[in-house]
Amino acid sequence: MGLIFSVSGVRGIVGTELTPQVAVDVGAAFGSWVGGGRVAVASDTRPSGPMIRRAVASGLMATGCTVIDLDVASTPGTALRVRELAASGGVVVTASHNPSEYNGIKLLSSDGWALPAEQVEQVRRIWQQRGFDLVGGDQVGGVETRQATETHQRHVEAVLRIVNVPMIAKRRLHIVLDSVNGAGSPGTAMLLARLGCEFVHINAEPTGMFARGPEPVAENLTELCQAVRLARADAGFAQDPDADRLALVDEAGRCVGEEYTLALAVQEVLSKRSGPVAANLSTSRLIDDIARRAGCTVHRTPVGEAHVAQAIIQRGCVIGGEGNGGVIDPRVVPVRDSFVAIALICQLLAESGKKLSELVAALPRYAMIKRKLACPAERAGAVLAAVREAFAGQRINEADGVWIGLQNGWVHVRQSNTEPIMRLVVEAEGDRQAQELVERVVRIAEAVR
């Protein structure tokens, strides 16, 4: 497919698409855009991490930036350090939930957020045009190195401040944690210990050789489900390699579905603090149900972490995130954070005294279906127009493709940034209704020529 430089950063297969030469250039482009100062750089546990991280660092130094080398760190941990160290920006070398032959370069702003799309585009243009502001030998930047443990500790401390630690610790929750051999492993173990949890840690070695499919979705979590049953645990937690997403397994060893991570985190936060919530348009209406019950509003944003983070800050949201298990609590850092999700879910379990399955059963259950529709980029506009027309008269949001609010569900169709496809997500009260909605949209899309 080739190297991708999209709104979510750079991604490619190491050795063919993502080479050290590419990484140096991306580093130099980001350094030129930042215009000097200190930039924090970290990598997840992939074996190619140190190679790419050092190449990015070289490019940054060549433009006069001082590199703060954080060694191995999670995405939220890095984001937090960018803020704490008052850096001009941050770089995380990670391909997130992609297999270990991939790597990527994710850019963070000086506030520690995912860099917004327009700004990523500015960096991409510098990279493409090779418009680097390289400095002379006497102005080249240096490197400050930091221990990886320091980032993990600082991150854990920040997360512990948002929950009632003695109350949670008293419950002695039994947890199975699956860190997928990723960057979250050491820090999350610290977090669970500090929360007084007794835990079994699987796929704990931070080797970057992922023992399961790295995306925390049901098909990859069979080992975790078994381990939860075997340990008679209260819950299972599954992270992705850069530890920004979290999936939950209930006490019976069942995957509860990725939408419930954010839903339960929102429920927990709104039980303590009133305020608006932000979520992207493809996130379940569970969030609306929970917010309505608490008398709070939900701001919907285009898909992409930076959009949600921006809405959280600009609208003063108390919590937000994405339905794929990405929870953002601005008290820690406006980035998706599996540590935050774990702390909030533990607090909810401890405080309610309920089983995870009971907490899930108390929420509505909707059917969500996600589909990719093959569609060349030049036809995307016509497909969106046809969908809009077919659902004329319904509630429509065009912030990102077309989102249609129906009586008992919704439809979201948008163009992919990286592939010649349209992404379709529908949610309805039941499987059959969801399936019918999917079929209806597919027919509309196929009729466009």
Q: How far is the CB of 342 from Mg ion (least distance, A)?
A: 15
d(CA 353, CA 57): 48
Q: Counting Cβ atoms within 10 Å, is residue 115 exposed (0-12), middle (13-18) or buried (19+)?
A: buried
The residue behind tokens 């196929």 is: 446
Q: How far is the CB of 239 from Mg ion (least distance, A)?
A: 9
Q: How far is the CB of 240 from Mg ion (least distance, A)?
A: 4
Pick out residues in 382-411 that bind Mg ion (CB under 5 A).
none
Task: Please count the residues of the chain.
Answer: 449
Please identify, using beta-carbon distances, which residue of 141 and 186 lies nearer to Mg ion: 186
d(CA 270, CA 290): 8
CB atoms within 10 A of CB 22: 21
The residues with which 201 forms a beta bridge, in sequence order, are: 177
Q: Residue 204 contacts by C-beta under 8 Å, 6 or more apart in sequence?
A: 177, 179, 181, 185, 189
Please identify, using beta-carbon distances, which residue of 65 and 105 lies nearer to Mg ion: 105
**E strand or H helix at 205:** none
Site mask for Mg ion (CB under 5 A), range 197-236, x = bound: ----------------------------------------
Q: What is the dihedral of CA 142, 146, 148, 154, to 10 degrees?
A: -130
Pick out residues in 96-155 that bind Mg ion (CB under 5 A).
96
CB atoms within 10 A of CB 26: 29
Q: How far is the CB of 96 from Mg ion (least distance, A)?
A: 3
Q: What is the dihedral of CA 184, 186, 191, 197, to 10 degrees?
A: 110
The pairing of strands 277-280 and 235-239 is unpaired
CB atoms within 10 A of CB 295: 8
Please identify, using beta-carbon distances, which residue of 183 and 298 lies nearer to Mg ion: 183
Q: How far is the CB of 448 from Mg ion (least distance, A)?
A: 33
* Interaction between residue 283 and Mg ion (CB under 5 A): no
Of 96, 109, 179, 185, which one is the catalytic site residue? 96
Number of residues that bind Mg ion (CB under 5 A): 4
d(CA 411, CA 282): 9
Q: How far is the CB of 47 from Mg ion (least distance, A)?
A: 18
Please identify, using beta-carbon distances, which residue of 234 and 322 lies nearer to Mg ion: 322
φ, ψ of residue 393 in degrees (nearest 5) = 95, -15
How far is CA 161 from each of CA 164, 319, 343, rounded to the nearest angstrom? 8, 15, 10
Q: Counting Cβ atoms within 10 Å, is residue 389 exposed (0-12), middle (13-18) or buried (19+)?
A: exposed
Site mask for Mg ion (CB under 5 A), range 237-266, x = bound: ---x-x-x----------------------
Q: How far is the CB of 166 from Mg ion (least distance, A)?
A: 31
Residue, CB closest to Mg ion:
96
Please identify, using beta-carbon distances, which residue of 234 and 244 lies nearer to Mg ion: 244
Site mask for Mg ion (CB under 5 A), range 68-107, x = bound: ----------------------------x-----------
The pairing of strands 66-72 and 143-145 is parallel
The pairing of strands 89-93 and 102-108 is antiparallel
Please identify, using beta-carbon distances, which residue of 96 and 203 lies nearer to Mg ion: 96
Please identify, using beta-carbon distances, which residue of 59 and 241 lies nearer to Mg ion: 241
Both structure tokens of 231 = 């340990």
Please identify, using beta-carbon distances, which residue of 234 and 242 lies nearer to Mg ion: 242
Asked whether the beta carbons of 267 and 348 are under 8 A apart, the reply is yes
Q: How far is the CB of 33 from Mg ion (least distance, A)?
A: 23
d(CA 373, CA 382): 14
Is 109 a residue of the active site?
no
Q: Residue 223 contacts by C-beta under 8 Å, 6 or more apart in sequence?
A: 178, 202, 203, 211, 212
Q: How far is the CB of 18 from Mg ion (least distance, A)?
A: 17
Report which of 36, 219, 268 is spatially closest to residue 134, judged by C-alpha positions: 36
Please identify, using beta-carbon distances, which residue of 240 and 258 lies nearer to Mg ion: 240
Catalytic sites, residue numbers: 96
The residues of the shown chain that bind Mg ion, judged by CB under 5 A, are 96, 240, 242, 244
